[in-house]
Each structure stands twice: as C-alpha cells, then as structure tokens.
Amino acid sequence: VLLNLTKCDIHKLDEAPATEVVMTRDEGLQYYRTMQTMRRMELKADQLYKQKIIRGFCHLYDGQEACAVGIEAAINLTDHLITAYRAHGYTLTRGGTVREIMAELTGRRGGIAKGKGGSMHMYSKNFYGGNGIVGAQVPLGAGVALACKYFGNNELCVSLYGDGAANQGQIFETYNMAALWKLPAIFICENNRYGMGTSVERAAASTDYYKRGDFIPGLRVDGMDILCVREATRFAAEHCRSGKGPILMELQTYRYHGHSMSDPGVSYRTREEIQEVRGKSDPISLLKDRMLSNNMASVEELKEIDVSVRKEIEDAAQFATTDPEPPLEDLCNHIFYNDPPLEVRGTNPWTKLKSVS
C-alpha cells in the first residue's frame, strides 16, 4: 500500500527522504510484532524490577520503539550499530532473543553477556553494546565507521545518543573527524525530550539537534512514525554508501518511563503530558491504525500477535527467574579476546582465579 508521511526538516541537503512510501502487509505485521515484543518486554522488566528480581541500573525503551525498528528496517545486519545504555530495544533488533535479554537483566548464565553485563551492557554480532558513559559510544562508533571505510566493504556504522549526550564535547570532536575523513557514519540523536530530569529547553541553547553537526548534513524526523524513521534511515544509508561522508539524524521521540527505574518520571513532567503522547502519537497505535484503515490486517490478526508476544515474554521471564547465576569461576573469563589462560588476583591477595578467553 502507498502511504503518505510527514516531511523531514533538512539541513545542508538538496533533497529529502521520500514522503510517499510503500509498505507491504508482511512488513507491517513484522514491524508490529517487533515493536509489541519490545513494549511487553520493557513492561515485564518494570515488573521484575519492582519485585527486586532485576537490580541495579535499568533504563527502559518503551515509547521509542519506532526508532529501533525503523532504523533496522533500512540497514543490514552486516552494518554496525552502537548505542547508549537504553539498549534493550537494539539488542532485540540486532538479533538477541527476548530470553537472552531478560536473563541478562536478571544476571543469569543464559543472558546475552552471560549475566555479566546487565541492563546497560548487552552485545551481539555487529552490535557494540549499550555504553554506560554518556556520549562515549559516539567516538567509538566513528572508529567502527573508520574500520568500514578501511576494509572497503560498503558497510556503515550507526551511532545513537540522546538529547542529554548531545552537548558532550566528544560528540563534536567526533563530528569533526568523521567529516574530515568522510566516514560512513550515521549519527542519530534520539531526542526523547528529557536528559535525565532536564528538559531539552533547559539543557541546550539550540534544540535543533539535526543542525548541530554544523558542516554535516542533517535530518529531523518524526521518531514516533516507524515509516518516517525507515525512510530517513534509508536516505541516510544511501548518503553514506555513496561516499558522501557522515550524516546526522534527529528522531523526535518520547520515553514513557522515567530516565531509569529509580526515576518515577513525574517530578519534571506531568502525567497529563505522558498520557497525551500515549493518546496521540504512540508508535504502536499509529502503525496499528494505519494497517487497519488500509485493510492490511484485521483486528483479530493483530490480537493473535499480541497473544503470542505475551506468551513469549512470559516464557522468557520464567527462564530469566529460574536460570542459574554464573558460577564464581566464570568471573574473570573473557578479559582478553584470545590470550592463553592467565591468573587474576581475586578479592583478596590469597585467592587466585583463572581467566580463559
């Protein structure tokens, strides 16, 4: 079906992403399932956190699903992606299973990082993880993009950061190098309107994040519409692959939860504001309405997907609460990628542990 999209704002570009796009029924159903899985997974994580089964840092992605699913719909799994610590959604789109993600959240052996990374540090092939230091993933992503260029394999790297990280000096240093070296890098600011508890207006003298690459072209995109995100990413990927160097995207999105689980999320914004976003621009509802109104799916079909997603999440939660924790002898493994086993000093001078790659 041919669908119309809102136009992107552009910076230093002669053309913009398409506003008339085609979405097939299968694509629609797949996007719906993935976004719904992400949403349910995060709600389950919220529940397990409140039961003290998940501990420590935990930053949930619900509300921002169209960003992750839209980006992945326009790049290849052989391309590279690195993000900040709100990483559960990308771990899923990059090939992690719900089971592995949930088990990682509870620190179990079956977790995607063997239970050692937790919420903020998940990895898979060509996915360089959630990164805990604000903005640190952006220069790392430029390094990955440099590798893509060096190997000449027509791959690119997507580096994601939030509106809070957008004021970090290292991000501007990275823009500079990426532009000088014409790196195949897509820098994406997921602007969810709040950096921790600070609104964008109070944090940034210019909230036009898509223009802040200055000499780097930029796009500002409706981050709640999966098709807008997909088309903008497709446009950005072509820009990179044709050797034009880096490009910047700002996805205007919203997070329903607080910054992390320790932030109730209502001291710096009103409950009404959250309800209004949920009511008017929820990414899953928008896709659902679009599919129903274009006769691309029936209410029953979507219900079936909801039921099977719920079951998948329940099974994963069951696994994540019963799978054993990693044994002590695994504590020091994989310190180095491929070194022979080495001795590591334990918690006191008399205990020695072995590290195996």
pLDDT at 349: 80
Give the SS3 label for residue 110: coil
Instruction: Locate the domains of the chain by residue range.
Output: 2-326, 328-356
Nearby residues of 34 by Cβ (< 8 Å), 6 or more positions away: 65, 69, 92, 93
249, containing H or E segment: strand 247-252
The model carries a pTM of 0.96
Distance of CA 235 to the CA centre of its chain: 19
Can you read off the two tokens belonging to residue 251?
């996805």
- What are the helix (H) ranges across 2-126? 25-50, 65-72, 88-93, 98-105
Instruction: Select from 26, 259, 275 the least CA-distant residue to 120.
Output: 259
Digitized pLDDT (tens) for each residue of the chain, 357 residues in all: 999 999 999 999 999 999 999 999 999 999 999 999 999 999 999 999 999 999 999 999 999 999 999 999 999 999 999 999 999 999 999 999 999 999 999 999 999 999 999 999 999 999 999 999 999 999 999 999 999 999 999 999 999 999 999 999 999 999 999 999 999 999 999 999 999 999 999 999 999 999 999 999 999 999 999 999 999 999 999 999 999 999 999 999 999 999 999 999 999 999 999 999 999 999 999 999 999 999 999 999 999 999 999 999 999 999 999 999 999 889 899 889 899 999 998 878 888 899 998
Instruction: Select from 96, 86, 234, 211 the least CA-distant residue to 160.
Output: 86
16, 219 Cβ separation under 8 angstroms:
yes
DSSP assignments along 271-317, one per residue: HHHHHHHHHHH-HHHHHHHHHHHTTSS-HHHHHHHHHHHHHHHHHHH
* Protein fold of 2-326: Rossmann fold (3.40.50)
